Amino acid sequence: MKVLVVGSGGREHAVIRKLKENTEITEIICAPGNGGIAADARCVNVGATDLEGMLKLALEEQVDFCVVTPDDPLALGMVDMLEKHGIACFGPTHDAAVIEASKVFSKNLMKAYGIPTAAYEVFDKPEEAMKYIRYRNSYPAVIKADGLALGKGVLIAADEKEAEAAVQEIMVDQAFGASGNRVVVEEFMTGPEVSVLAFTDGNVIRPMISSMDHKRALDNDEGLNTGGMGTIAPSPYFTAEIADTCMKEIFEPTMQAMNAEGRTFKGCLYFGLMLTPKGPRVVEYNCRFGDPETQVVLPLLKSDLFTIMKACHDGTLADVEIEWSKQAAACVIEASGGYPQKYVKGYEIHGLDENGQHEGVTVFHAGTKLVDGKYLTNGGRVLGITSVADTLGEALDNSYAAVKEIGFQDMHYRTDIGRKLR
């Protein structure tokens, strides 16, 4: 079995590490991959959104199975294209990926099928969005660009002035391009946030172990929103009782709703949840594994990932046992100074061995490249330093001990990942 993994982040590295445990797989190719992934897979320089290039690669290499991991190629229909040419994939089709690619679609889906989420309205004219925000006169106001925006399309306005600036940025200045042609204005919710990734084949849905991301750039949840600065799993907030409620009110109904819409979702469906005083609510759906959530969730998977992925494709997930470790995992992201805004690339990373690893932890590579045997920084989020241990405290201590030994110029990381949960 030859497997192609599309993408280049820490999430893809975590997927590849897990796939490597399968003995049926003879080779893993990653496109485009990165410096550290190259120690675990053969990296080929085809961009993740290059549909034609990816098809050509998959056909030339005669791959048996393709894992399409990032949102953009999924939203562009990479799975449809590969499957049309007989290549089995893990990941949703274009029509199912819309659950992430359009917030207007996902909000309307939730409303139509009674899935709990924040109350909202949709606008395609900036003046009407502002008229509504003024009329509601309730702050913070949450303003979201409809389309994909690298996780930055959600603005939370503390007052009318900030709301005006947010509407201006998204709809008029088009900071996120056409993604801001429409906005969702929604109710502000409070409560702990939990990420639940779930495997589904459209017949059954199997939640993975829960996790918690830390999205803001700075300690104490200050600073700008990022792709995620660190994660822990499982989330102590996600009790068995809440899991039950979510299964009945959110996970199953979402899978059924997509079926009813003729958009059967196969792959990994990500539920961004907020545990509000009124019960769990959906903040967002993603049509893929979360990053860095995957970097703590997959290391706790005891079953074979490839078997599960094939079952999601084949529609036989009901027959597969999925077992999770009772341990805990922590991931601390080492980012380039300045991320999520401007940052410099190309600094040498110290503290890694020739395989890009470090004793006692697993180093998932995101923005790195390997040049003349040296690992260099090559992106905003550079490394995910992950540990698994019997307790969350121990996992955090291990990861933070390694963070002190692995680094580069201007490195930035949060010192409080999981601190409140230890």
Q: How far is the CB of 29 from ligand GLY (least distance, A)?
A: 23
| 285 in Cβ contact with 99 (< 8 Å) | yes
Q: Indicate the residue whose CB is closest to ligand GLY.
A: 290
202 or 227: CB nearest ligand GLY: 227
Cβ within 8 Å of residue 397, ≥6 positions away: none
151 or 315: CB nearest ligand AMP: 151
Q: Does 163 bind ligand AMP (CB under 6 A)?
A: no
For residue 168, give the DSSP letter: I
Residues of this chain, 281-310, that bind ligand AMP according to CB under 6 A: 283-284
Cβ count near 113 (within 10 Å): 14
Q: Indicate the residue whose CB is closest to ligand AMP.
A: 284
Residues of this chain, 228-257, that bind ligand AMP according to CB under 6 A: none
Q: How far is the CB of 227 from ligand AMP (least distance, A)?
A: 10
20 or 215: CB nearest ligand AMP: 215
Q: How far is the CB of 191 from ligand AMP (least distance, A)?
A: 9
Buried b (16+ CB within 10 A) or exposed e, 303-322: ebbbbbbbbbbeeebeebeb
What sign has the CA pseudo-torsion 369, 328, 280, 94?
Answer: positive
- Give Cα separations from 189 to 185, 278, 369 (angstroms): 12, 10, 40
Residue 179 interacts with, from ligand AMP, ligand GLY, none (CB under 5-8 Å by kind): none
Distance between start and end Cα atoms, the chain: 41
Q: Does 136 bind ligand AMP (CB under 6 A)?
A: no
Q: Does 279 bind ligand AMP (CB under 6 A)?
A: no
Q: Which two tokens stand for residue 325?
A: 């470790």
| 337 in Cβ contact with 415 (< 8 Å) | no
Of 33, 47, 70, 54, the residue nearest 369 (C-alpha): 33
Tell me phi and psi for residue 410, to 5 degrees.
65, 20
Among 193, 261, 394, 410, contact with ligand AMP (rule: CB under 6 A): 193
Cβ within 8 Å of residue 139, ≥6 positions away: 157, 158, 159, 160, 163, 188
In degrees, rounded to 5, the angle at the alpha carbon of residue 11 between the alpha carbons of residues 347 and 302 is 130
How many residues belong to the site for ligand AMP (CB under 6 A)? 14
Contact positions vs ligand GLY (CB under 6 A)? 151, 213, 227-228, 286, 290-291, 293
Q: Which helix (H) or strand (E) holds 29?
A: strand 27-32
38 or 156: CB nearest ligand AMP: 156
Q: How far is the CB of 244 from ligand AMP (least distance, A)?
A: 23
267 or 290: CB nearest ligand GLY: 290
Of 37, 364, 367, the residue nearest 226 (C-alpha): 367
Q: How far is the CB of 56 from ligand GLY (least distance, A)?
A: 28
Strands 154-157 and 141-145: antiparallel
Residue 290 interacts with, from ligand GLY, ligand AMP, none (CB under 5-8 Å by kind): ligand GLY
Q: Does 154 bind ligand AMP (CB under 6 A)?
A: yes
Q: How far is the CB of 99 from ligand GLY (least distance, A)?
A: 13
| 163 in Cβ contact with 171 (< 8 Å) | no
Fill in the per-residue mask, 35 to 74: x = in contact with ligand AMP (CB under 6 A), - = not in contact: ----------------------------------------
Fill in the per-residue mask, 12 to 31: x = in contact with ligand AMP (CB under 6 A), - = not in contact: --------------------
Of 352, 342, 345, the residue nearest 405 (C-alpha): 352
Among 142, 273, 275, 282, contact with ligand AMP (rule: CB under 6 A): 142
Q: Does 197 bind ligand AMP (CB under 6 A)?
A: no
Residue 286 interacts with, from ligand AMP, ligand GLY, none (CB under 5-8 Å by kind): ligand GLY
| 72 in Cβ contact with 11 (< 8 Å) | no
What is the binding site for ligand AMP (CB under 6 A)? 118, 142, 151, 154, 186-189, 193, 215, 225, 272, 283-284
